[in-house]
Structure 1
Amino acid sequence: MHRFNQRIASALEQRQEQGLYRTVNCLRRGQDMSVQFREQSLLNFSSNDYLGLAQDPVLVAAWQDGLSRYGAGSGASPLVTGFHSPHQHLQSQLAEWLGFEQALLFSSGFSANQALLFALLQEGDHLLQDKLNHASLIEAGMLSPASMRRFAHNDPSSLERLLSRVPENSPKLVVTEGVFSMDGDLSPLADIAHVCQQSSSMLVVDDAHGCGVLGESGRGSCNFAGIKPDILVVTFGKAFGLQGAAILCSHDVAEYLVQFARHFIYSTAMPPAQAHALSAACGIIQRDNWRREKLAEHSDSLAQYLLPDVEIVNTQTPIKPLMVGNSERAVKFADKLRQRGLWVSAIRPPTVPANSARLRITLTAAHKDTEIRALAQAINEVWHEE
């Protein structure tokens, strides 16, 4: 057996023994928020489709219209022949809506984050990240030539202390998320922005889970906090109901990324039909305030229907972690909910810290109040069985 095969077999066996083995489940999307799994119909409470756009007939029609106009694929990277009029329109639309000079499109949030950090950071730079930032950001920081430190989660004082140890004239980049995907909590962006201003640090905010959900007309967590970062990353796989990402920035930063961001230069551009559909999604997000109002109603209803001793974190976002602690218990909890017709994913280490396994419940505007009530009833039952 090759040494690589031995290593692979050993790692898989260890992951099994730790109760952390992951599997890819093949689902078939049903009507509204239901999914089919092994012939069972389940209500889906693990989707990031916060505004319910992924199956919205208007958005589906927009993508079909884009296909009929522009074909299936872009055919090349943006710098060759892959950049088309729908891409340009979407970039302008995003920049105007979110208040930046320029937007640059990417095929995923992971690639956008890594492209940004790899292109910006050089040896001698200092990168400071929230300890719970997304894996794409932490990995990029670790692999970059910059010196990276992680400040305590959502703690501006910790950030300030770390920055005080950095030479005054050194380039400093601070990166945080607007909404943290596993806990659903908001970053104290106003305080972090103040620390950055006082220390002459550039601020980057990844608002994957805030854009579309928070702020005026869904402008996101930065608008909600009343700040404007130097660079904003938004993704389209959550509230937009589609896929992809954009970096919002100044003209100079955008031009710099076009020259030096390898993920942009050497990746095939997203299909123009997809960009066309994303423009439609952008318009829906701005117009349909009722979707955000529905999310707020569902949050209030879930808190009302759950028994007081259920350890759910009451957040300002559609992400509602149900803290379980033990990984095995989290899996059993999820299985019992599945038996009751509910799909709620168990999240375990290393995605979250040790002993903080949880059920990551997500609400969407497409859920009905009766479905929220059914979820709460099932959680109440299973919680007291454990």
Structure 2
Amino acid sequence: MTKQFYSQLAETLAGIESQKLTKVERHLTSAQRGMISISSNDGGRQVLNMCANNYLGLADNPRIVDAARDYLEERGYGMASVRFICGTMDIHRELEEKLANFLGQEDAILYTSCFDANGGLFEPLLDDKDAIISDSLNHASIIDGIRLCKAKRYVYANSDMNQLAEKLREAKANGARNIMVATDGVFSMDGYLAKLPEIVALAREHGALVMVDDSHATGFMGPKGKGTPAHFGVEVDIVTGTFGKALGGAVGGYVAARKPIVDLLRQRSRPYLFSNSLPPLVVGAALAALDLVAEGDHLRRKLFDNARYWRAGIEKLGFDVLPGEHPIIPVMLGDAALSQRMAADLFERGVYVIGFFYPVVAMGKARIRTQMSAVHVQADLDFALDAFAAAREAVS
């Protein structure tokens, strides 16, 4: 039986390799920034980084690094405990309160990742008398979190407001006590923003709650970077997010919501109750990141200037680019193997991007997802445009 199991794994891996779809992990030897150093095993050189979630360029910001170092020296390396035993420092609550205030919510609760935040959100709040209505392109963490919950599950096609209205009516007709609509604020493979004004209006019409995962928006979308709800000028009931993207690029996630929601999560949310507390250096760095975000209008301007410049340039070259305003700008190629060949060719030319294909995106919708950062300069983007043009000729 054991031999059969490992033979099955080998066969599956060989199949992935034969289709040229193996995901390759390249080893960085520098800090995460606009230009990154690659290990000698991967060529030992510098490449232009166009695939990180480092939207504001804070991953190696000196103030964040200094804050992490200070808290490391003052508070130690790790907590060696979950929060309710002896794993809560004053700075954990300071960060939660600061985050809640920033997002316009009553309270917040920290997790080791946003995956854990979404994984631990739904089960404590909803049961088999309730319903969750989820966008079809929601992040895997939302999907997994919903699977762990006993609430009745409904799915609507991505941003299809007619289907959402239909599912809301269906959930009510089936006797749902409470209904929650769950959506990404930004759908990360496409760079599309959720239609939050319509979602909130429909939810309120049917007495439903709205949950938004704003991981790809907090820090740079909306006034002062307060996210997609602020961008659209709407209020939602629950916001989840991460410190692993614009807010410093490390680890950690959160749920921000009304106090009764957060209070119940502290009592019942399994990833919170059974995972070590965030290390002090991460908490200190996140506090510094929130200060930088509050001061970061110039970074946001640079980020969106770069996004507009890149979008115009790549479209002028004749590439198929999904429309949008977000700094995620997918270059659509269709064929999975082509996306891998082109990403590999671009890497050899000094541009680090990743090709995405099924099952991460729909079959036949393979793409190279380019991502802008405030640390890119125009010369970087011109270099990348030239590389994309050359790579297309080389691999087509």
Relative to the length of structure 2, the TM-score reads 0.94
Residue 188 in 1 paired to residue 189 in 2? no
Q: SS of the counterpart of 2:120?
A: helix
Offset of residue 299 of structure 1 = 1.4
Q: CA 1:251/1:311 → structure 2, altered by over 3 Å: closer, same or farther?
A: same
Offset of residue 30 of structure 1 = 5.4
Indicate conservation of the 8 Å contact 1:20/1:349, yes or no: no
- Aligned partner (choices 234, 243, 247) of residue 240 of structure 1: 247
Residue by residue, what CA displacement relative to the aligned partner does 1:288-319 show, whole Å, maximum 9, x if unpaired?
A: 11010001111121133332521122421110
AA aligned opposite 1:282: L
AA aligned opposite 1:79: F
The equivalent residue for 1:272 is 280
- Aligned partner (choices 215, 224, 228) of residue 231 of structure 2: 224
Indicate conservation of the 8 Å contact 2:311/2:329, yes or no: no
AA aligned opposite 2:383: A
Q: Distance in 2 between matches of 1:102 and 1:89?
A: 11
The equivalent residue for 2:330 is 321
- Report 1:8-47 matches (<5 A): 8-29=9-30, 32-37=33-38, 38=42, 39-47=44-52
The equivalent residue for 2:309 is 301
Indicate conservation of the 8 Å contact 1:125/1:146, yes or no: yes
Q: SS of the counterpart of 1:302?
A: helix
Indicate conservation of the 8 Å contact 1:105/1:244, yes or no: yes
- Aligned partner (choices 41, 56, 66) of residue 61 of structure 1: 66
The equivalent residue for 2:96 is 91
Q: Distance in 2 between matches of 1:254 and 1:34?
A: 40
Q: Distance in 2 between matches of 1:122 and 1:18?
A: 42
Residue 347 in 1 paired to residue 356 in 2? yes
Q: CA 1:254/1:4 → structure 2, altered by over 3 Å: closer, same or farther?
A: same
The equivalent residue for 1:178 is 185
Q: Distance in 2 between matches of 1:30 and 1:116?
A: 33
Q: SS of the counterpart of 1:29?
A: coil
The equivalent residue for 1:75 is 80
Q: CA 1:32/1:13 → structure 2, altered by over 3 Å: closer, same or farther?
A: closer
Indicate conservation of the 8 Å contact 1:175/1:203, yes or no: yes
5+ residue gaps, structure 1: none
Indicate conservation of the 8 Å contact 2:21/2:340, yes or no: no
Q: Distance in 2 between matches of 1:335 and 1:27?
A: 16
Residue by residue, what CA displacement relative to the aligned partner does 1:257-289 show, whole Å, maximum 9, x if unpaired?
A: 011101101110001221111001001001111
Indicate conservation of the 8 Å contact 1:310/1:380, yes or no: no
Which has the higher mean CA deviation after the structures are superposed, 261-270 or 141-150? 141-150
Residue 117 in 1 paired to residue 125 in 2? no
Give percent identity, aligned residues only: 30
AA aligned opposite 1:193: V
Q: Distance in 1 between matches of 2:19 and 2:155?
A: 27
Indicate conservation of the 8 Å contact 2:317/2:389, yes or no: no
Q: SS of the counterpart of 2:6?
A: helix
AA aligned opposite 2:155: R
- Aligned partner (choices 349, 355, 378) of residue 369 of structure 1: 378
Indicate conservation of the 8 Å contact 1:310/1:383, yes or no: no
- Aligned partner (choices 285, 291, 295) of residue 287 of structure 1: 295
AA aligned opposite 1:138: I
The equivalent residue for 1:207 is 214
Indicate conservation of the 8 Å contact 2:31/2:60, yes or no: no
Indicate conservation of the 8 Å contact 2:135/2:182, yes or no: yes
Indicate conservation of the 8 Å contact 2:136/2:156, yes or no: yes
Offset of residue 332 of structure 1 = 0.7
Count matched residues. Answer: 386
Offset of residue 59 of structure 1 = 0.8
Residue 333 in 1 paired to residue 338 in 2? no
The equivalent residue for 2:266 is 258
Q: Distance in 2 between matches of 1:265 and 1:31?
A: 31
Residue 249 in 1 paired to residue 257 in 2? yes
Q: Distance in 2 between matches of 1:162 and 1:304?
A: 38
Which has the higher mean CA deviation after the structures are superposed, 150-159 or 120-129? 120-129
Q: Distance in 2 between matches of 1:148 and 1:339?
A: 45
Indicate conservation of the 8 Å contact 1:105/1:245, yes or no: yes
Offset of residue 243 of structure 1 = 1.5
Offset of residue 10 of structure 1 = 2.7
Indicate conservation of the 8 Å contact 2:118/2:240, yes or no: yes
Indicate conservation of the 8 Å contact 2:212/2:236, yes or no: yes
Q: SS of the counterpart of 1:278?
A: helix
Q: Distance in 1 between matches of 2:200 and 2:189?
A: 23
Q: Distance in 2 between matches of 1:30 and 1:67?
A: 18
Indicate conservation of the 8 Å contact 2:33/2:54, yes or no: no
Q: Distance in 2 between matches of 1:295 and 1:314?
A: 17
Residue by residue, what CA displacement relative to the aligned partner does 1:223-280 show, whole Å, maximum 9, x if unpaired?
A: 0011111111021111012221110011111111011101101110001221111001
Residue 359 in 1 paired to residue 368 in 2? yes
- Report 1:131-150 matches (<5 A): 131-150=136-155
Indicate conservation of the 8 Å contact 2:119/2:148, yes or no: no
Offset of residue 128 of structure 1 = 0.9
Indicate conservation of the 8 Å contact 2:125/2:261, yes or no: no
